Structure 1
Amino acid sequence: MSTAIQFFKSTKKQMLDFSWIKRTLLIIAVLAFLASSFLFLTSPGTTLRIWMAETVIITQHREWAWIFVGAEQRDEMVRNMHQNIEKNAEEKQDMGRIQHKVYKKNRSIDELIKVEDISGPLWKGKRMYVFDPKSIRAMTPVKSGEGERISAMVKRTGAVAGVNAGGFDDPEGLGNGFAALGVIVSGGEVIFTDQDETTPQHIVGFTKDGTLIIGKYSMTELRTMGISEAASFYPRVIANGKPLPISDGSRAPRTAVGQKEDGTVIFIVVDGRQAHSVGATLKEIQELFLADDVVNAGFLDGGASSELVVNGELVTKPSSRYGERRLPSAFLVYDHPEEAVANRVWDGINKIDAGGSYDHPDFLREQAEIKARQKNNPTPATPPATPTAPTTVNKPETDKTEKTDKPKSTEPGNGTGNGTNAGTGTGNGNGSVKPTDHTKPPVIEGKETDPTKNPPSTSSGNKESTTPAAPTTPGSTPSGSTGTETGKPAGGATGNNGTTVPTGTTPQGGSPAGSGTPAAPTTPTTPVPKDTAPNSTTTPNTGSSTNVNPPAQVTPTTPAAPTTPVNKPN
């Protein structure tokens, strides 16, 4: 027991010593482990995974449902869903179930429709009663090439209210609303169809006497039934007064329509995919219809297209990020439906462009605004590190007293250099120090570089350079240093703070500072470019090349103020 306690105490101490990044990653890993264990190893987790897969399947991204249930089970779920939809559409509708009445004209809005709020455990929406089913007309966009918002349709045609109707091809969720699917019928005329007249299609429509038709019918059958208004969508959930089986438990924005025996039509629109309303299931909508004694019911297009407009105002909250969407069809309510005529915007078109992000006006406007903001408020570049006065990046940290403790010597400097091809000479000029130990780096203007604090950089020559960078000002040769060491001068480079290190500013050996006579003069050699021979006999001097064996007399020059050395000691 004590061992376990000690283990937990030590683990707790180690976690407290972690940085916040490590603690965050550890928490995420633990949560991921617990969540995956719950989802894949428990019965409630399996139910939740299936529900999430069903939710994804009914969207345009159903292929991603494999994340929750695997590709094989996802495909099986899709097949079962379609089989269930097809089976529910098979039963033929009892056309005599609905009682037809005569309705007066010139009615007030209250006499024609009634709109009320509805809600469930995880959703909110609207329910609209339409008392005269013959007042409903299928409407199409005003112009060819793109759909139209329902509010625009309502205002343009003088409708009282309207909901979205049939489905359409919607690339990226940014389609132009013009590539309708199935069939659109308005005023008894086929405005659009993508099938021949003998092919059965899923239909939601109304006959000339106001009977709601839901199921799978060909245009030939629909004409026999007296179809007047229609669009294509599914599934059917109530047929001839009885509920049909539903296997989908996903939540989403919904638009549905049903009819009571007295002819009253009920439209239900539920918001979804938002904080105030997650969305309703098919079963919940079915139960709402059954509670109202609906005898036939089915669904219209849902998702981001679900919306209800009353008296020209949008009264629901579509899940589309751009508000109302452009749609190919809508069911609108009119006091005088015979005066509303749908536009034949698909006539003469052989190929329909579904649109997408490349031509969606709201998306393009959004992208243009983002670019404009970036142009007006560009992201500032990362500024270079601002060196402080006492500690610049390249300046050695040398105590000022060192300079005062080691004054510049006025005695002749006597030093010998043992570099490659270097002669031994005696300098008689003013040196700053007497270098007698060549293992010690030279001193630049009284500032000694300690190799234990600043490891020498490796040059491209045969020897490792032990000399820090020389001054960048021409003629600033360190005084009193004698002898040469071979090596390649440091090349130019850009440091992390954006400062460019000049090329050839790092001498790899000393050069005479005063007048002196070489002990053993040698034959001058032709300088070799520093990048062509590793054992160059030239000594760089702030970009100039000087022979190792200088002339007997050299006029002393006053050293210029040295620049900050390249390497900063620790």
Structure 2
Amino acid sequence: MSTSASPRRQGAQKKKAVKKKRRKVSFLRKLARGFMFCLLLLTIGMGWLYFAPSALNFRYLIADTLITTQHRYMAKYIIGEEELKNRVAEYNQRFIHMGDEVDTHTITAPVTEAAAEAAEVKDEKPLVEIEQVSGSGYSGYVMTVNDPTKVRLGIPDKAGSGEKVSSMVARTGAIAGVNGGGFADPEWKGNGFKPIGLVISQGKLFYNGLGGKTSTQIVGIDKQGKMIAGNYSLEELGKLGVQEAVSFQPRIIVNGKGLIKNAAEGWGIAPRTAMGQRADGALLFVVIDGRQPGYSIGANLYDVQQIMLKHGAVIAANLDGGSSTVLVKDNEIVNKPSSQYGERYLPTAFLVFEHPEQVKIDNIWEGLDPSQIDAAKKRPR
């Protein structure tokens, strides 16, 4: 019986082997077909992206988004190296001119606590209000500061390194804070200590990195709490009585009208921070998260402008964004910063205080030559 059963078993084994081989061949064929299909789709997609006139705006959107990141060089693979240079130069020129129009907005001066008590006026509005905002592909927050005179500029307390906004808030006793102006950031590994342009705090010039330039784009407030944003010289800033200010661009709203016409002029999609002001004097800080698929990809400057206009801003300007974007309230980080290394070290932040007159902020850059500051020096651990 064993002799007669052996051929049957062998035949069955052969059939199993053949079936297994066929399944393997079938799987490989399906895999090859799937690969060819994906390759075909990729070829068609790349052909559309690079050659179809209808894809032009999409190409620029991708390039503009890359320009706002540490991978700016990759934009040349989308629009070409020469066009990348032209694009950056075009935006810089456009941003400069967006700060030229004379701002004529006025605000209603906030009622002082003494005057309110004398007149028995009860203002039920809290000093700081935060609300969530969202739109196509983005999520974030609007922080309203109902008394603009309660805002001061925070700076680091140690030479050689920037400071996290959460640390500035905790150290100074602030109620809230958002990131401020830009800074030298070689290879996106800077220490956050070397600001770009000017830093003005408590009415004094703390830092002058203009070099040979006579003017710069400013975002700040004057003695009465009126927001100042646009292209100004140091002399003009002195005459305006600017108290707290940083350099950044562009201004996106002036005299109640938006300066960015559409999303195509919005300079890509990224995390954003911006500052604005309503006619009643309240300051608006828009903080949009980004670079986090499934939660928030980011917003363009047109999106930010429209949020500001919806909230009644008569003037608004962009602040440093990207990985620097952060909002802190009551010693807690409210948003979700995009930096893979966590909250960044920064040179400036706009902080909100119940009693700003009691806050003493020292000039950490006093006596330092901007040209001698090592922006890439490692931060102390």
Task: Tell me, yes or no, whether TM beats 0.5.
Answer: yes
Deviations 1:281-327 (A, max 9, x none): 11111111111221110111000000100011100010001221110
Give the whole-Å Cα distance in 2 for the aligned partners of 1:138 and 1:59.
26
Deviations 1:414-449 (A, max 9, x none): xxxxxxxxxxxxxxxxxxxxxxxxxxxxxxxxxxxx
State which of 248, 266, 284 in structure 1 corresponds to 2:266: 248
* 1:342 counterpart = 2:361: yes
Greater share of residues in strand: 2
- Cross-structure match for 2:112: 103
- Cross-structure match for 1:354: 375
- Cross-structure match for 1:182: 197
Give the whole-Å Cα distance in 1 for the aligned partners of 2:55 and 2:315.
35
**Code of the aligned partner of 1:308:** L
Alpha-carbon contact 1:255-1:270 (below 8 Å) kept: yes
Give the whole-Å Cα distance in 1 for the aligned partners of 2:343 and 2:124.
23
Q: Which has the higher contact order (CA 8 A, sep 6+)?
A: 2
Deviations 1:148-191 (A, max 9, x none): 11111111111000000010011232211101111111100111
Alpha-carbon shift at residue 94 of structure 1 (Å): 1.2
Alpha-carbon contact 1:154-1:312 (below 8 Å) kept: yes
- Secondary structure of 1:111's counterpart equals coil
User: Unpaired runs of 5+ in structure 1?
Assistant: 1-12, 363-570
Deviations 1:118-154 (A, max 9, x none): 1112111111110100100001101101011111111
**Code of the aligned partner of 1:148:** E
- Cross-structure match for 1:303: 322
User: Unpaired runs of 5+ in structure 2?
Assistant: 1-22
Give the whole-Å Cα distance in 1 for the aligned partners of 2:213 and 2:204.
16
Q: Relative to 1, partners in 2 of residues 1:120 and 1:211: Cα closer, same or farther, differing over 3 Å?
A: same
Q: Relative to 1, partners in 2 of residues 1:171 and 1:25: Cα closer, same or farther, differing over 3 Å?
A: farther
State which of 319, 323, 334 in structure 1 corresponds to 2:342: 323
Give the whole-Å Cα distance in 1 for the aligned partners of 2:81 and 2:225.
44
Identical aligned residues as a percent? 40
Give the whole-Å Cα distance in 1 for the aligned partners of 2:266 and 2:138.
17
- Cross-structure match for 1:125: 140
Alpha-carbon contact 1:103-1:132 (below 8 Å) kept: no
Off by >3 Å, runs of 4+ in structure 1: 15-29, 105-110
- Cross-structure match for 2:288: 270
Alpha-carbon contact 2:260-2:266 (below 8 Å) kept: no
Matches within 5 A, 1:84-103: 84-94=94-104, 97-103=106-112
- Secondary structure of 1:206's counterpart equals strand
* 1:62 counterpart = 2:81: no
**Code of the aligned partner of 1:59:** T
Q: Relative to 1, partners in 2 of residues 1:26 and 1:282: Cα closer, same or farther, differing over 3 Å?
A: same
Alpha-carbon shift at residue 34 of structure 1 (Å): 2.0
Q: Relative to 1, partners in 2 of residues 1:198 and 1:219: Cα closer, same or farther, differing over 3 Å?
A: farther
**Code of the aligned partner of 1:64:** M
- Secondary structure of 2:160's counterpart equals coil
CA RMSD of aligned residues (A): 2.6
Greater share of residues in helix: 2
Deviations 1:21-59 (A, max 9, x none): 866764553333122122123344332111101111233
Deviations 1:456-513 (A, max 9, x none): xxxxxxxxxxxxxxxxxxxxxxxxxxxxxxxxxxxxxxxxxxxxxxxxxxxxxxxxxx
Matches within 5 A, 1:24-173: 26-27=36-37, 29-94=39-104, 97-104=106-113, 111-173=126-188
**Code of the aligned partner of 1:324:** E
Alpha-carbon contact 2:260-2:305 (below 8 Å) kept: no
Give the whole-Å Cα distance in 2 for the aligned partners of 1:198 and 1:67.
33
Alpha-carbon contact 1:150-1:330 (below 8 Å) kept: yes
Alpha-carbon shift at residue 75 of structure 1 (Å): 2.2
- Cross-structure match for 2:331: 312
Give the whole-Å Cα distance in 1 for the aligned partners of 2:355 and 2:224.
15
Alpha-carbon contact 1:197-1:218 (below 8 Å) kept: no
**Code of the aligned partner of 2:60:** I
State which of 265, 278, 281 in structure 2 corresponds to 1:260: 278
- The TM-score, its normalising length taken from structure 2, stands at 0.84
Give the whole-Å Cα distance in 1 for the aligned partners of 2:282 and 2:137.
27
Q: Relative to 1, partners in 2 of residues 1:54 and 1:197: Cα closer, same or farther, differing over 3 Å?
A: closer
- Secondary structure of 1:287's counterpart equals helix
**Code of the aligned partner of 1:125:** G
Give the whole-Å Cα distance in 2 for the aligned partners of 1:72 and 1:16.
48
Alpha-carbon contact 2:161-2:380 (below 8 Å) kept: no
- The TM-score, its normalising length taken from structure 1, stands at 0.57
- Cross-structure match for 1:505: none
